[in-house]
Structure 1
Amino acid sequence: MELRHLRYFVAVAEERNLTRAAEKLFIAQPPLTRAIKQLEEKVGVQLFIRKPRGLELTTGGEYFLEQARQILDKVAATLEDTRRIAQHRKTVFSIGFVPSVFYGQLPSMVRRLRQNRNLEILLHELKTREQVDALKVGKIDIGFGRIRIEDPDVEQELLFDEPIIAAVPAGHQLTHEPPSMKALSEWPMIAFPSGPGPNFADITQGLFHRRGLRVNVIQQVNDLQTALSLVASDMGFTLVPEQVRRLGREGVDYMPLADDNISTPVIASRRKGESPNAAMRLANTILAELVENRLTGRYP
């Protein structure tokens, strides 16, 4: 089996049509048809069901498509890293993160890693689910998120639980005392990020739903900065992780919540069963120190 067979298969699976796939690959249809037949013979299972209106993946074909994409992504990442290493003579260490964890000590970790001249640090803004997929194909070496995702190839470590606070318009009635979840539910809410879950919006809205409270989400936005801009415009409040308090914003006050144990996890994700190289050992050492600083109330 050659890589071209996987590329051909993915193109056919995405197009569900041999003619369109051949055009996409800039090859004639007959050799593409032969290549798919050879692949099915090599794998030993039927990957497509031929129908009058096109092709349909079998159950085995759907599984093979997922694996083929991961293999091709892994090859692409390997080639990119190889070229980068050859050019700079450095080890590439890639970090995935959700934006809401980048307002605390993660920048300190990146800064300290960059002090090692043998390392080139790459950052990728990815949702937690995307981080798991990126770990499996080698696009990143470690990820920082907030969602628990079960995957046999990835291990997740709870670093700490971070309090959730309310970002409210400066001088608003909600700033007179720490607001309760019930008090907040009576005001318009701005939720972030929008898009398919699970995400931080699901976490925050779930806090209301589990208490039998209805919340009026007037706007969903894609990023924290936009959410805070709307708060400063007096459109409503939003819930944010505590470390966002360190991001000063005119027109926004940050308030602790009156309810107890309102928090969100900070989770590190790594490939399971992989012996850490020198870069990962250094990252783990720095991370352990920063987490200790967090848990004891000390910041670098």
Structure 2
Amino acid sequence: MSVLDEWAGQRAPVGADPDGRVPHAVSDAVHRAVSDARDVDDFDMRHLRYFLTVVRSGTVSAAAQQLRISQPSLSQQIRRLEKRVGAALFIRSSRGVELTAGGRAFLREIQGIPGQLRSAIAAAAPAPQVWSVGVCGGVPADVLIEVQNGLPGGGPDSGRDPGVRLRMRSVGAADQDDLLRRGELAFGIVRMPILSPHLVGAVVWDEPLGVVMAQQHALAERAEPTWSDLARQRLLWYDEGCAPGFADTIPAHLARLGWNSVLHPVDQDQHALFLHALQTTSDLVALRPRRAVEKEPHLVWRPLPTSRPPRERLAVTAAGDSHEARVLQRVAGERGWGFFAE
């Protein structure tokens, strides 16, 4: 009796015959997989990681630094991979490397393999020791607590996923898509809209934006600044790397309302820089939900002069078709988070 037959006798999969036999479609798929695996027995997953890192970095030297190996060693491993594939994958020049047509085809077919393998491991043993959660800049503590209490391994109900532990760490929104798909992050917390078609998510925070300024700002005494008041102010804003999508859509929304703001970009992953800029620049204001800054003694919050202000929506995300995506969908249903799949 084969392992496939034993598995069929122990557990009938969806679509199995009443007597527990594996459907022909499943059996055929396993046999095809056995044949495919035989063809790539000598393929090293390490080479896949090296290839993907060179693609992301753009140069072999930068990739070698990230991988913590020497540049000659990495070059040698890439050449071995090209020999195994039977085609050149990169065009090398003084400026770095570019993918060949074969390299682009190879990337298209293999970039999902690490995530699929990680999902397979998680499905077989769905209790990894640590799930990393990437957190973009400026996320309120209330959001972190809600996510911590909702996801497995964080809150009081984590006993349903024994052995799971969450670890939150600062990761820029622009980097999270790649890290989620490669399995280096289990979940991410980012501002909407999400531009990647490869992610699913659940909205955990949806609040109207208002004007934030230092206590000593000239507009701090106004109960509600006008568009004319705001036209003379610069807007302390995210650079595109901090909040892709959000960084473009909100200023466009403000322009439609009548405020063509002059943007003053700053790295808002660091709250201290955000506070310092507002307190030391007289014509500078920011946008935040009231709940995000109401406990900050050095800042004043005022509503925008509109009945339909732009909103800040924060979402927990996961790589589509992954074990974590299924966990997120389950948690979203339990906690009333608005789940979506792009």
**Structure 1 contact 103–247 (Cα < 8 Å) conserved:** no
1:131 aligns with 2:176: yes
1:26 aligns with 2:73: yes
Report sequence identity in percent.
20
- 154, 160, 178: which one pairs with 2:199? 154
1:240 corresponds to which residue? 288
1:188 aligns with 2:226: no
Judging changes above 3 Å, is the alpha-carbon distance between structure 1 residues 255 and 277 closer, same or farther for their aligned structure 2 residues? closer
**Structure 1 contact 104–246 (Cα < 8 Å) conserved:** no
Which deviations, in whole Å up to 9, do the C-alpha atoms of 1:215-269 show, x marking residues without a partner? 233563433432223223353211113331343232x111121212211222232
Structure 2 unmatched runs, 5+: 1-42
- What is the TM-score with the length of structure 2 in the denominator? 0.62
Cα deviation for residue 184 of structure 1 reads: 1.3
Give the SS at the match of 1:26.
helix
Which aligned pairs between 1:45-194 and structure 2 lie closer than 5 A?
A: 45-49=87-91, 56-62=98-104, 64-65=106-107, 91-110=129-148, 113-115=154-156, 116=158, 118=162, 119-159=164-204, 161-170=206-215, 172-174=217-219, 175-193=221-239
1:296 corresponds to which residue? none
Which one is further off, 273-282 or 159-168? 273-282
Judging changes above 3 Å, is the alpha-carbon distance between structure 1 residues 201 and 181 closer, same or farther for their aligned structure 2 residues? farther
1:205 aligns with 2:205: no
Cα deviation for residue 166 of structure 1 reads: 0.9
CA distance, structure 2, for counterparts of residue 274 and residue 126 of structure 1: 20
- 301, 316, 323: which one pairs with 1:268? 316
CA distance, structure 1, for counterparts of residue 326 and residue 94 of structure 2: 55
**Structure 2 contact 225–302 (Cα < 8 Å) conserved:** yes
Judging changes above 3 Å, is the alpha-carbon distance between structure 1 residues 217 and 90 closer, same or farther for their aligned structure 2 residues? closer
Cα deviation for residue 123 of structure 1 reads: 0.8
Cα deviation for residue 165 of structure 1 reads: 1.1
Judging changes above 3 Å, is the alpha-carbon distance between structure 1 residues 254 and 286 closer, same or farther for their aligned structure 2 residues? farther
**Structure 2 contact 242–267 (Cα < 8 Å) conserved:** no
Cα deviation for residue 7 of structure 1 reads: 5.0
Which deviations, in whole Å up to 9, do the C-alpha atoms of 1:91-133 show, x marking residues without a partner? 4333222233333343244257244363311113234443332
Judging changes above 3 Å, is the alpha-carbon distance between structure 1 residues 278 and 108 closer, same or farther for their aligned structure 2 residues? same
CA distance, structure 1, for counterparts of residue 261 and residue 324 of structure 2: 45
Give the SS at the match of 2:84.
helix
Which deviations, in whole Å up to 9, do the C-alpha atoms of 1:68-95 show, x marking residues without a partner? 677568889999x9xxx9xxx9643332
**Structure 2 contact 200–320 (Cα < 8 Å) conserved:** yes
Given residue 59 of structure 1, which amino acid in structure 2 is its aligned partner? A
Higher Cα Rg: structure 1 or 2?
Answer: 2
The root-mean-square deviation of aligned C-alpha atoms, in Å, is: 4.3
**Structure 1 contact 48–57 (Cα < 8 Å) conserved:** yes
Structure 1 unmatched runs, 5+: 293-300
Which deviations, in whole Å up to 9, do the C-alpha atoms of 1:202-226 show, x marking residues without a partner? 3443333334543233563433432
> Which one scores higher on RCO, CA 8 angstroms, separation ≥ 6?
1
2:85 corresponds to which residue? 40
**Structure 2 contact 133–186 (Cα < 8 Å) conserved:** yes
